Structures are given as C-alpha cells and as structure tokens.
C-alpha cells in the first residue's frame, strides 16, 4: 500500500512524539511547558499550555487528521507514483547492477511517459488515489489509536512492541478496507491514455464487478497484507526510535543543525522511517501491482506486457527466473523519492492539523 508512512497517534499510553519538543531548551516559549504524567503502565511525556491541558487526540480527531494528511500528500506524490507503477509493470530482463539499472530505467520511463502522454500522463489514477488516501488515512489512524491504547491497558508490552503490533494491525485492516481503490489506481495508471480500458471510477467498478465478480476487486490482496503488516510495523517502530533519538540528542546539544530541524522534525523523522520500511518490503509491493492488473483485459494494460500469473509465489518465481533478481526492485528509486515527500507531508500536515484541533478546544 503506497500511502506514505503515518505517524503514531496520541493515545493514552504513548509518548506524544509528534508534538513533543526537546525539554528545557532555550527556545521554549513561556506559554508552553513539558511535564511528566503517570498514566497506565509508564510515564508519559506530555505538553501542556494555557489553552490545552493535554496533547492527546480522540480516535475521531486522529482519523480526521490522518485523512487530511493523506489527501494533501497524494497531490504532491502523484507523478512519482505513476513512474513507480509503470516501472513495476515493465517485464524486460533487468540490468545486472541494481543501482545502475534503476537509475537508467527511471529516466527512460519519465521520457516515455512525457513523449506518449504528456504532463497529463503523470496524474493518471489520481482521483481514485485521492479516495484511497482519504479512507486509508482515516481508517489506519482510527484502528492504530484503538489497538495501541488497548495494548497499553491490557498488556505489559514495551512501547516499541505496542507500536509495531498496532501499526501492523492498523495497516492490514486499512489495506483490506480500502483495497478496491488501490486496485483502481493501479489499473488507471497501467492503461495508456490513447487506449483506455476504463474511463471513470463508476464505470471501472461496474466493469470489474460484471466481468470478474467481487473477487476481481481484491486481486493481489494477499501480498498487500503480507507487505503492509511488516511495513507499517517497521515504520511506526522506526518513527518512535528515531523521534526518541532526536529528542535525546536535542536535549544534550545546542547544535544549529538540530535547531534548524526543530520546526520540521515530524517531517524529517517520518521520511526516514518511510525509507527504511519501504526498502524492506519492496518486492511484495511489485508483485501486488503485477497481480492487480490480472484479468480479462490483461494484455491491454501497461507498456511491458505483464504475463498471466497463478498467484503470488508464481509471480515471484517468474520474475526472478525470466527477468532477473534485480527486477524485484524495479521502481524502487521513484518509490523512495516518493516516500520521503509523501511521508514528510503526512507527518507535517498531521501535526499542524492536530495542533489546530487542540488549540480550538475550549
């Protein structure tokens, strides 16, 4: 699921890593202070101010912030998404050198899209992707907040473990709930504007249901869930670890570099966590895209002529055997380039939306 990484919510049992600035720094404003509050199984660092007694969001508020962040980030990353998916559907044998093959293929892909479809080609599938990001962001934050909070009350798991489990479950549930939008996005991107199979979202929904049945909306769901569970678990855990490391370094140093990062720390930490998670699970993402365009119109999709697969294992074996192992990482470069601004936008917009909601509280 390519939605960028999403930040931990401010549930009752977690550190407010999104809002907390390093404690006792010279840049603290007089109206804001940090204090330690005993809650549940541990001590929670919270930020207090004249207008708000805590820095915690309700589940509904977290869902709203997540949905807003998802929609904004999608607008920013659409061209990267188109290039990445187009490369993932390319079937020619990959270069032996992964870095060289990836860098050359990205430039070639951008040139081909521009020549054949123009600027418009970089925004194919954007509407279905907006629906995807909107519903996925809201669902994931809602589920993560509930699961992580429940684990904090019902178990003695350390914070990192709660973040991993909560992120994995939230990612799997959000992926299953919003998967048809993900499939539509891939199919809209895979078709060429000059020979389109689908011309509208409603038309595509009717088309798939009539020709492929309900099952057609969930092609590739299995590798998607196998991918998203470790991916979101890694992202949420990495975010917590990186945010804690940043606060530790910031509290012990007056480095100008760290001071410059202060206003955008959510974005920087979020982008780093996304890159780590994306690299770990990328081959499953590629297989998912290949499976999503399987069906009666397979030959009408993509530039590279994706063959017919019987399932996830068959797809993995075929790609390695006929295209080479490096082919499993086709599109990784634009995926990572996309992950950084997408994740940065998500964390940044989430943080500011959260702050506006909390400021508006009586």
The per-residue pLDDT for range 157-194, each reduced to its tens digit, is 777 788 778 877 888 888 888 899 999 989 988 887 66
CA torsion 328-333-335-337 (nearest 10°) is 170
pLDDT class of 290 with cuts at 50, 70, 90: very high
Residue 26 lies in a domain: no
Helix pair angle (221-251, 265-292), 10° resolution: 170
Residue 32 lies in a domain: no
Q: Give the model's pLDDT for residue 314.
A: 93
Residue 261 lies in a domain: yes
Which whole number is the average pLDDT over 98-121?
A: 73
Residue 14 lies in a domain: no
Residue 254 lies in a domain: yes
Q: Give the model's pLDDT for residue 3.
A: 53
CA separation for the pair 333, 322 (Å, rounded): 22
Q: Give the model's pLDDT for residue 96.
A: 40
Query: Which pLDDT tens digit goes with each residue over 214-271?
Result: 889 999 998 888 887 777 778 878 888 888 888 888 888 877 777 777 777 777 887 7
Q: 160 exposed, middle or buried (CB, 10 Å; 0-12, 13-18, 19+)?
A: middle
Q: Give the model's pLDDT for residue 344.
A: 74
Q: Give the model's pLDDT for residue 286.
A: 92
Reference 122, options 170, 193, 71, 179; nearest CA is 193
For residue 304, what are the domain limits?
A: 59-356
Range from 2-6, 34-38, 327-331 that averages highest in pLDDT: 327-331
Mean pLDDT (the chain, rounded): 75
Q: Give the model's pLDDT for residue 209.
A: 92
Q: Give the model's pLDDT for residue 55.
A: 56
Q: Which residue has the higher pLDDT, 317 or 148?
A: 317
CA separation for the pair 340, 219 (Å, rounded): 28
Residue 295 lies in a domain: yes
Q: Which residue has the higher pLDDT, 50 or 273?
A: 273
Reply yes or no on whether the pLDDT at 320 is more than 50.
yes
Q: Give the model's pLDDT for residue 303.
A: 65
pLDDT class of 40 with cuts at 50, 70, 90: very low
Q: For the beta carbon of residue 45, count every other beta carbon within 10 angstroms.
A: 17
Which whole number is the average pLDDT over 269-275?
A: 81
**Which residue spans within the chain are E strands per DSSP?**
32-39, 42-49
Q: Can you read off the two tokens belonging to residue 122?
A: 């970089």
CA separation for the pair 24, 33 (Å, rounded): 8
At 56 the three-state DSSP class reads coil
Reply yes or no on whether the pLDDT at 30 is more than 80.
no
Reference 291, options 88, 130, 92, 123; nearest CA is 88
Residue 30 lies in a domain: no
Range from 49-63, 184-198, 321-335 that averages highest in pLDDT: 321-335
Residue 190 lies in a domain: yes
> What CATH number corresponds to the domain at position 219?
1.50.40.10
Reply yes or no on whether the pLDDT at 14 is more than 60.
no
pTM flag (> 0.85)? no
Q: Give the model's pLDDT for residue 304.
A: 62
Q: Give the model's pLDDT for residue 313.
A: 92
The number of distinct structural domains making up the chain is 1
């Amino acid at each position: 699921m390519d939605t960028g990484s999403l930040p931990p919510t401010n549930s009752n049992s977690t550190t407010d890593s999104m809002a907390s600035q390093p404690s006792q720094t010279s840049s603290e404003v007089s109206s804001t202070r940090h204090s330690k509050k005993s809650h549940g199984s541990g001590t929670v660092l919270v930020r207090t101010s004249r207008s708000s007694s805590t820095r915690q969001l309700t589940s509904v508020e977290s869902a709203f912030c997540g949905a807003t962040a998802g929609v904004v980030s999608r607008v920013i990353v659409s061209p990267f998404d188109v290039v990445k998916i187009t490369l993932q559907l390319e079937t020619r044998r990959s270069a032996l050198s992964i870095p060289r093959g990836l860098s050359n293929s990205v430039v070639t892909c951008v040139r081909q899209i521009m020549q054949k479809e123009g600027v418009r080609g970089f925004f194919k599938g954007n509407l279905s992707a907006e629906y995807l990001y909107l519903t996925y962001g809201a669902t994931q934050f809602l589920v993560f907040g509930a699961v992580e909070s429940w684990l904090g009350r019902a178990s003695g798991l350390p914070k990192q473990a709660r973040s991993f489990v909560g992120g994995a479950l939230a990612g799997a549930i959000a992926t299953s709930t919003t998967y048809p939008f993900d499939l539509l996005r891939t199919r809209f991107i895979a078709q060429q504007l000059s020979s389109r199979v689908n011309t509208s979202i409603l038309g595509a929904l009717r088309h798939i249901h009539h020709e492929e049945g309900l099952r057609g909306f969930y092609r590739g769901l299995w590798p998607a869930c196998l991918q998203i569970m470790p991916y979101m678990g890694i992202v949420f855990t990495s975010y917590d670890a990186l945010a804690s490391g940043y606060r530790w370094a910031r509290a012990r140093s007056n480095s100008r570099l760290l001071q410059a990062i202060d206003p955008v720390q959510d974005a920087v930490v979020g982008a780093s966590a996304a890159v780590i998670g994306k690299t770990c699970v990328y081959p499953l993402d590629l297989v998912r895209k290949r499976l999503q365009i399987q069906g009666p119109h397979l030959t009408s999709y993509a530039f590279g002529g994706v063959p017919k697969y019987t399932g996830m294992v068959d797809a993995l074996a075929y790609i390695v055997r006929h295209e080479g192992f490096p082919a499993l990482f086709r599109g990784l470069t634009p995926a990572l380039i996309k992950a950084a601004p997408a994740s940065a936008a998500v964390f940044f917009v989430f943080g500011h939306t959260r702050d506006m909601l909390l400021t508006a509280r009586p």
